[in-house]
């Protein structure tokens, strides 16, 4: 060694601990000469270990460690005025990319107060930071893409809704107009779900919000006299898979349309009540009205597309449908017993 090392000999064990440190570590004298450097430090920052001992910190390598901020922070640490904890500095070397470093410095506390020595731990966070940035970018891109998709879906549904409503205004036949309006309600039912999905996390749909919104939208477009007819929605805290909620929403749409059309021909007032509750895998959906009740015999309306849709969806959900006299009015109850069909309940999931 050509440089004068230090006047003071460190215990061999201390030096061995420093050299073998997994984290890049420098052991410095008070005047910022390197007493020892860990092998990991030399490897990480491309420094020949043989050149290290006794060298001033600012002369290490090609002088890239001569950073005034680092020197003054180490000086403050040595004098006991400050401790460097997670201080960020940039390591700049010619022809190499700048590395972002996080440094920790402290005095060695071995009871020897006359010989201040410093431990400087150096972590290269360049790659970790880049990865975090990349992840953040990905998350942001994903969210933007998701929003874009939802926007497109909403606009596409708007085009369909616009076409249906224009057709409905143009046709002469009341019956055809009714069919077009029903088709429009079905589209709006799916749109309400789409909106609900865009705000929910993990693809589960909170039925309470969804069915309430859905019935508000049905009421707004179908009920001409809101003082006369109303829709009441009672739903527990269930959250279900998106697929299941599409089916439930369409079932409710069909049954509400049906009740609004047939249950209250001349009644001074009327209410349609939607009720959904679940217990584990079991659930029950009922749509009831306090109207004129089911017509019988030849007065019974022909089964239309609406009842076909309801039957198919109920079957798909492995449920059973039952119609009963609610006295006054009609109740349609759909019940599923047994394990859920891709169906999750918030109360059991938490």
Partner 1 sequence: MNNGRAVVLVIEDNTIVRMGAVDLVLAAGYEALEARDADEAIRILESRSDIDLVFTDVQMPGTMDGIKLAHYIRDRWPPVKLIVASGNDILEESSLPGGSSFFPKPYDDSAITDAMARLLASDNPKGTATG
| Stretch in the footprint of partner 1 (CB under 8 A) among 66-74, 159-167, 202-210, 338-346 | 159-167
Closer to partner 1 by CB, 126 or 200: give it: 200
CB 122 within 8 A of CB 26: yes
Q: What is the C-alpha separation between 128 and 121, in angstroms, rounded?
A: 17
Q: What is the C-alpha separation between 260 and 267, in angstroms, rounded?
A: 11
Q: How far is the CB of 329 from partner 1 (least distance, A)?
A: 26
Residues 197-216 as x/- pattern, contact with partner 1 by CB under 8 A: -xx-----------------
Residues 127-156 as x/- pattern, contact with partner 1 by CB under 8 A: --------------------x--xxxxxx-
Q: How far is the CB of 151 from partner 1 (least distance, A)?
A: 4
C-alpha distances (whole Å) from 335 to each of 190, 305, 316, 323 are 22, 21, 12, 12
Residue 157 binds to partner 1 (criterion: CB under 8 A): yes
Which of 3, 158, 269, 316 forms a contact with partner 1 (CB under 8 A)? 158
160-163 contact pairs (CB < 8 A, 24+): 160/187, 161/187, 161/188, 161/191
Number of residues that bind partner 1 (CB under 8 A): 26
Q: What is the C-alpha separation between 348 and 130, in angstroms, rounded?
A: 40
Residue 115 binds to partner 1 (criterion: CB under 8 A): no
Outline where DSSP puts E strands in the chain: 25-29, 34-37, 84-91, 99-107, 117-124, 204-206, 229-235, 239-241, 270-279, 282-289, 320-325, 330-336
Q: What is the C-alpha separation between 74 and 121, in angstroms, rounded?
A: 12
Which of 11, 12, 50, 159 forms a contact with partner 1 (CB under 8 A)? 159
Q: How far is the CB of 209 from partner 1 (least distance, A)?
A: 13
Q: How far is the CB of 159 from partner 1 (least distance, A)?
A: 5
Which of 85, 166, 347, 348 forms a contact with partner 1 (CB under 8 A)? 166
Find the distance separating the first CA and the last CA of the chain, reported in whole Å: 67
Q: Is residue 123 left, alpha or beta, with left meaning phi > 0 and alpha meaning psi from -120 to 50?
A: beta
Residue 346 binds to partner 1 (criterion: CB under 8 A): no
Among positions 319-338, residues that touch partner 1 (CB under 8 A) are none
Closer to partner 1 by CB, 107 or 150: give it: 150
- Report the interface residues with partner 1, using CB under 8 A: 147, 150-155, 157-163, 165-166, 169, 187-188, 191, 195, 198-199, 217, 220-221
């Amino acid at each position: 060694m050509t440089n004068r090392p230090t006047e003071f000999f460190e215990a061999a064990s201390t030096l061995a601990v420093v050299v073998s440190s997994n984290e890049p570590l420098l052991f410095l004298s008070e005047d910022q000469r390197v007493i020892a450097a860990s092998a990991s430090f030399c490897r990480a920052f491309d420094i020949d270990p043989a050149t290290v001992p006794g060298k001033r910190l600012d002369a290490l390598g090609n002088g890239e460690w001569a950073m005034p901020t680092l020197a003054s922070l180490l000086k403050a640490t040595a004098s006991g005025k400050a401790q460097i904890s997670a201080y960020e500095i940039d390591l700049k070397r010619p022809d190499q990319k700048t590395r972002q470093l996080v440094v920790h410095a402290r005095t060695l506390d071995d009871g020897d107060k006359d010989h201040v020595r410093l431990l400087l731990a150096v972590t290269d966070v360049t790659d970790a930071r880049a990865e975090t940035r990349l992840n953040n970018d990905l998350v942001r891109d994903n969210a933007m893409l998701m929003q874009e998709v939802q926007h497109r879906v909403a606009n596409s549904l708007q085009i369909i809704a616009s076409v249906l409503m224009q057709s409905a205004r143009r046709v002469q036949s009341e019956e055809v107009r009714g069919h077009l309006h029903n088709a429009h309600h079905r589209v709006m039912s799916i749109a309400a779900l789409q909106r609900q999905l865009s705000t929910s996390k993990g693809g589960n749909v909170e039925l309470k919000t969804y069915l309430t919104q859905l019935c508000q939208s049905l009421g707004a477009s179908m009920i001409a006299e809101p003082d006369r007819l109303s829709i009441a929605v009672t739903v527990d805290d269930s959250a279900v898979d998106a697929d299941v909620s599409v089916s439930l929403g369409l079932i409710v749409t069909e049954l509400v349309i049906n009740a609004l059309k047939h249950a209250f021909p001349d009644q001074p007032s009327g209410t349609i009540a939607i009720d959904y509750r679940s217990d584990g895998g079991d659930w029950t959906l009922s749509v009831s009205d306090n109207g004129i009740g089911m017509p019988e015999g030849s007065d019974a309306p022909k089964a239309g597309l609406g009842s076909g849709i309801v039957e198919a969806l109920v079957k798909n959900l492995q449920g059973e449908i039952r119609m009963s006299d609610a006295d006054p009015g009609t109740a349609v109850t759909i019940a599923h017993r047994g394990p859920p069909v891709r169906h999750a309940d918030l109360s059991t999931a938490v």
